[in-house]
Amino acid sequence: MKSVSEVSVLIEKVRLSPVKFVVVTGGVCSSIGKGILIASLGVLLKGAGYSVSILKWDPYLNVDPGTMSPLVHGEVFVTADGAETDLDLGHYERLVGLNLGRDSSVSSGQIYKEVLEGEREGRFLGKCIQMVPHVVDVAKKRLLEFALKHNVEFVLLEIGGTVGDIEGEVFLEAVRQLKMDLGPKHVMHSHLSLVPFLSWANEVKTKPTQHSVMELKRAGLIPDCLFLRADRAIEEQSIDKLSIMCEVKKEYIFQVLTVDPLYKIFLDLQGQGVGEEIQRFFGLPVLKKSDISLWSQFIDNIAQSRQTLSVGLVAKYVGSNDPYISVIEAIKSSAYNLSYHVKIVTIAAEMLEKDYHNQDASRAWQDLQSVDGIIVPGGFDSRGVEGKILACKWAREQKIPYLGLCLGMQVMIIESARSLLHLETANSTEFDAATKDPVICLMSEQQNITTKGANMRLGSYLCTLVQDTHAHNAYKTDAVLERHRHRYEVNKNYKERLEKAGIVFSGIHTAMDLIEIAEVKDHPFMVGSQFHPEFQSSPVKVHPLFKSFIEVVASECNKRQQQGLTKPVLVKKEVKNLHF
C-alpha cells in the first residue's frame, strides 16, 4: 500500500515524463463501444508512430471477471501472463497489436481488496480509512505505476460502465484529481455518448448527451472532447448545440457512426482528423498523420470477397455474441484474409442433445448438417456437453472440417473414446466424477484447490509440435506459446489406445507431459487444442489454426461444388451412450 507521499512522488515522476493520458468514459447507456473507440484511438496513435499501451478500470466489485457467467459479462479474455480480464482487452490486443498483462485490467474489487488487506496489516497506522484519499489513491497509484513501468508516449484508459453508476464514482474522482495533479498537458478526457435518432420524430436528440455531461460536471469533470455515437450523421446545428451546452470546443467533437465492416471506423476517425487533434491538444510540436494502410487493405479484402462459407459454432452460451467474441472475430478475420465471407451459424448444443431422435424437425440439427465447417468453443460444466459430443461425431463421420477449442478438444477425445474404443461411459470427471473411463481428468496440481478464481491453468505455455501433422503444417514451426484457461486434461493412461484408434497427439507441453493438440487421422481437418488460439488472432495477423481451418473448409466446399454434390446427409446410427 502506497502512502499519500509516495503517490505524490509518482505524480512528480509522471509530470516530468513525456507520457500523455487519454481517458475515455461512456454516457447514456452501456454497450455503445468504448472499447472499440479506445482501440481505434490506439490504432491512430500507433499508426502515427507513437508508442501506446492501454488499461481498463472496471467498476464491478468482482476481483476479476473469471467467476462471472459469459452470459452476464461476456467472454473472459486471458492475457499471456495469466490474468482473467474483460473482453475489451481482446479488442485492444487484436486491433492495436499489443501484448497486454494483468496490470491492464483493474476492477473496483481489486482496489477495495488492496485497501482492506492493507488495513488488516496495519499499514494505515490507526487512521480512519476513507474513499478519499485512501481508495482513490490506490486507483491513481495503479495508473501512475502503469505509465512509468511501460514507458510509452500514450497511455489510453477506458473507464467501464456508464457515467452515473455508483460503482464508477471512485474512478471519476481519480481522473478529476489526476487532471489537477498533472495538468492539462498530460490528461485528455474523452466522453463517448449516445445520440439517438427518433424515427417517429425524424430527428436526432442531443438531450441524453447533455444530461450525461451534466453527470460528469457533478463529479467535477468537464470533458475535453466528445465522441458522438450514432447510426446516422449528425447535422451541424446539433454539433453547435452540444458545443455550447457541454462546454466542449467544436473542433473536439467527433462522430462515431455505425459502420460495416467495423474496421471502417479507423478510416472515419482519421478522416475527421482525430489523431491530429489529440496531438494538437497536447501541444506536440509536429502533428503526425497515421499510416493505417494495412487496415485499408484489409477492408478492401472484405469488399472483394465473393464466396460465402458457413461455419457452425456449437455453443453453450446462446443469446449473445459476447461469450465467443474472440472466436467469432478469429473466424471472420481468417475468412476475410482468404477473400471469403463467412456466415457464422450459432447452434445450441443443448438442442442437438434434446432433438437427437427428432432430427428432421430440429433447427439445430438442420443447421449442423448444412454448415461447411464446425467449431466447438470452450465452456464449463455439463450443460450442452452431450450435444457437443454429437457435433464431434457428425464432423468425424462425415469428414466435415472441425476445430475444437479447449473443451472442444476434450469432447473430441470423449467422442473418440466412445465410438472408436467402444468405451460407452467414457467421460470427463468434470461431468461425471464416477465415470469408469475418465479419458479427461483433473490436472494433478488442481486436485487440492477448493477456492474459485484465478487458480486454473492460466496464461501462456510452450507447446512442442509433431512434424507431418495438421498442427505443424499450420504453424510451420516446431514450438509455439499459447494461452490456456482450464483445469482438466487428457488422461495419459488412455493415450496409447487412442493413438492406435487413429488419434494423433500433435502438440505436447513437454515440461509437464501434457497433451496440447489432438487430431483425427485420415480426416481433412479435425483438430482440437487444449489452449485458446482465438486469444492470439487478429484481423491483420490471423492465427495459423484458424487460417488452416478456413483453408480446408473452403477447399472441401469447392470440391463438393465441382463434383455437383450437396451437403452430406447424416446416416443415423443408434447411439447408446448418450448421458441424457
The residue that leads in pLDDT, 96 or 123, is: 96
Place of cell 512528480: 12
The pLDDT of 383-400, averaged and rounded, is 97
All three cell numbers of 330, joined, read 478469429
Quote the radius of gyration of the chain (alpha carbons, Å).
26
pLDDT one-digit tens code per residue, 30-55: 889 999 999 999 999 999 999 999 99
Q: Which amino acid makes up residue 31?
A: S
Q: In what order do the strands lie in the sheet with 427-428?
A: 427-428, 438-442, 488-490
Of the candidates 229, 266, 225, the one whose C-alpha atom is nearest the C-alpha of residue 32 is 229
Cβ neighbours of residue 460 under 8 Å, at least 6 residues apart? 80, 81, 82, 481, 482, 483, 484
pLDDT at position 73 is 83
Strands 402-405 and 479-486: unpaired
Collapsing DSSP to helix, strand or coil, 253 comes out as: strand
* 46, 178, 396, 417, 517 from 507: Cα distances, Å: 35, 48, 20, 19, 4
The mean of the pLDDT values for the chain is: 93
Collapsing DSSP to helix, strand or coil, 482 comes out as: strand
The pLDDT of 213-225, averaged and rounded, is 97
Domain ranges, ordered by start, for the chain: 4-297, 305-443+453-562
> Backbone phi, then psi, for 45, in 5-degree steps?
-70, -40
Q: Is the pLDDT of residue 580 over 50?
A: no
Calpha distance 137→173 (Å, rounded)? 10
pTM confidence score? 0.92
Calpha distance 192→195 (Å, rounded)? 10
Question: Which residue in 91, 186, 486, 532 is the catalytic one?
Answer: 532
Q: Is the pLDDT of residue 571 over 50?
A: no
Q: Is the pLDDT of residue 574 over 60?
A: no
pLDDT at position 3 is 47
**Is 532 one of the catalytic residues?**
yes
Of the candidates 538, 311, 530, 506, the one whose C-alpha atom is nearest the C-alpha of residue 405 is 530
Collapsing DSSP to helix, strand or coil, 105 comes out as: strand
pLDDT at position 569 is 46
Q: Which amino acid makes up residue 487?
A: R
Q: Is the pLDDT of residue 256 over 60?
A: yes
Calpha distance 486→458 (Å, rounded)? 7
All three cell numbers of 105, joined, read 485490467
Strands 187-194 and 225-230: parallel
Calpha distance 15→331 (Å, rounded)? 43
The pLDDT of 467-490, averaged and rounded, is 96
pLDDT at position 274 is 98
**Is 556 one of the catalytic residues?**
no
Q: Is the pLDDT of residue 444 over 80?
A: no
The residue that leads in pLDDT, 446 or 410, is: 410
Question: Which residue in 84, 482, 516, 534 is the catalytic one?
Answer: 534
First CA to last CA distance, the chain: 52
CA-CA-CA-CA dihedral for 96, 458, 135, 11, to nearest 10: -50
pLDDT one-digit tens code per residue, 237-255: 999 999 999 999 999 999 9
Q: Which of 141-150, 437-446, 525-534 has the lowest mean pLDDT?
A: 437-446
Of the candidates 512, 377, 384, the one whose C-alpha atom is nearest the C-alpha of residue 443 is 512
Q: Which of 1-10, 198-207, 281-290, 506-515 has the lowest mean pLDDT?
A: 1-10
All three cell numbers of 362, joined, read 430440429
**Is 128 one of the catalytic residues?**
no
pLDDT at position 568 is 57
The pLDDT of 480-507, averaged and rounded, is 96
All three cell numbers of 474, joined, read 499450420
Cβ neighbours of residue 179 under 8 Å, at least 6 residues apart? 187, 189, 221
Q: Which of 261-265, 446-450, 547-551 has the lowest mean pLDDT?
A: 446-450
Calpha distance 95→540 (Å, rounded)? 8
pLDDT at position 72 is 85
What pLDDT band is residue 447 in, cutting at 50, 70 and 90? Answer: low
pLDDT at position 322 is 87
Do 305-443+453-562 and 4-297 have the same topology in CATH?
yes
Calpha distance 539→409 (Å, rounded)? 24
Ordered alpha helix ranges (H), 222-306: 236-246, 264-271, 274-281, 293-304
Question: Which residue in 246, 392, 406, 463 is the catalytic one?
Answer: 406
Of the candidates 454, 457, 456, 473, the one whose C-alpha atom is nearest the C-alpha of residue 465 is 473
Q: What is the CATH number of domain 305-443+453-562?
A: 3.40.50.880
What pLDDT band is residue 467 in, cutting at 50, 70 and 90? Answer: very high
All three cell numbers of 517, joined, read 493438440
Q: Is the pLDDT of residue 577 over 50?
A: no
Calpha distance 78→69 (Å, rounded)? 15
Angle between helices 293-304 and 264-271 (to 10 degrees): 130
pLDDT one-digit tens code per residue, 288-343: 999 999 999 999 999 988 899 999 999 999 987 789 999 999 999 999 999 999 99
Q: What kind of fold does domain 4-297 have according to CATH?
A: Rossmann fold (3.40.50)
Torsion region of 577: left, alpha or beta (phi above 0 gives left; psi -120 to 50 gives alpha) = alpha
pLDDT at position 445 is 63
The residue that leads in pLDDT, 569 or 403, is: 403
In degrees, rounded to 5, the angle at the alpha carbon of residue 435 between the alpha carbons of residues 432 and 437 is 130
pLDDT at position 452 is 61
pLDDT at position 454 is 55
Q: Is the pLDDT of residue 65 over 60?
A: yes
